[in-house]
């Protein structure tokens, strides 16, 4: 499966199934720190045995330093997002049905940054993108307001 749309659908399904399991782990007493450690360890283990593509790091051909720093920055930002998602789900009022929808709006920020810094605006139909993005913002706000405080 190499079609980007189907890969994105697979990511959606994996994230969708994993979210409630994160909440269940926290409800069972797993701390945010322990969950992040376990999930990160699994990521390292899976990356070690990944069979799709060649590793630049393990082949001895490290990427140029600028690209390596960009990759490290991306890893830090994604890890911080993962930590905050887990912290939100570990709270008593951290409803998975609300927290996961709000956090799942993150691609909107990525899309906007990609349009500016990767020059992707020229490759999209802005007349379709903008209304879709506004619907995501409106939906995220409505979902956020739907949580009862008790």
pLDDT at 69: 84
Handedness of CA 71, 120, 9, 94 (dihedral sign): positive
Residue 87: both structure tokens together? 């912290």
pLDDT at 47: 81
Return d(Cα 28, Cα 96) in angstroms, integer: 14
Residue 150: both structure tokens together? 């008790």
Return d(Cα 133, Cα 136) in angstroms, integer: 5
Please give the sequence-ordered ranges of beta strands (E in DSSP) within 12-116, or none if there are none. Answer: none
Q: Are 86 and 35 in contact (CB under 8 A)?
A: yes
Q: How many CB atoms lie within 10 A of CB 17?
A: 9
Residue 85: both structure tokens together? 């998602």
pLDDT (tens place) for every residue of the chain, 150 residues total? 567 778 888 888 888 888 889 999 999 999 999 999 999 999 888 887 776 666 666 666 666 677 778 888 888 999 999 999 999 999 888 899 999 999 988 888 999 999 998 888 888 999 999 999 999 999 999 998 998 765
pTM recorded for the entire structure: 0.76
pLDDT at 58: 63
């Amino acid at each position: 499966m190499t079609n980007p749309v189907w890969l994105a659908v697979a990511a959606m399904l994996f994230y969708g199934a994993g979210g409630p399991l994160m909440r269940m782990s926290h409800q069972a007493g797993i701390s945010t720190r322990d969950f992040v450690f376990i999930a990160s360890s699994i990521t390292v283990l899976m990356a070690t045995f990944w069979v799709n593509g060649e590793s630049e790091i393990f082949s001895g051909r490290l990427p140029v330093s600028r690209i390596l720093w960009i990759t490290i920055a991306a890893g830090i930002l994604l890890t911080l997002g993962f930590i905050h998602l887990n912290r939100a789900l570990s709270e008593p009022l951290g409803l998975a049905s609300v927290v996961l929808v709000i956090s799942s709006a993150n691609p909107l920020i990525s899309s906007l940054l990609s349009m500016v810094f990767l020059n992707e605006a020229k490759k999209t139909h802005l007349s379709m993108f903008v209304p879709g993005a506004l619907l995501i913002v409106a939906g995220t706000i409505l979902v956020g307001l739907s949580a009862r405080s008790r």
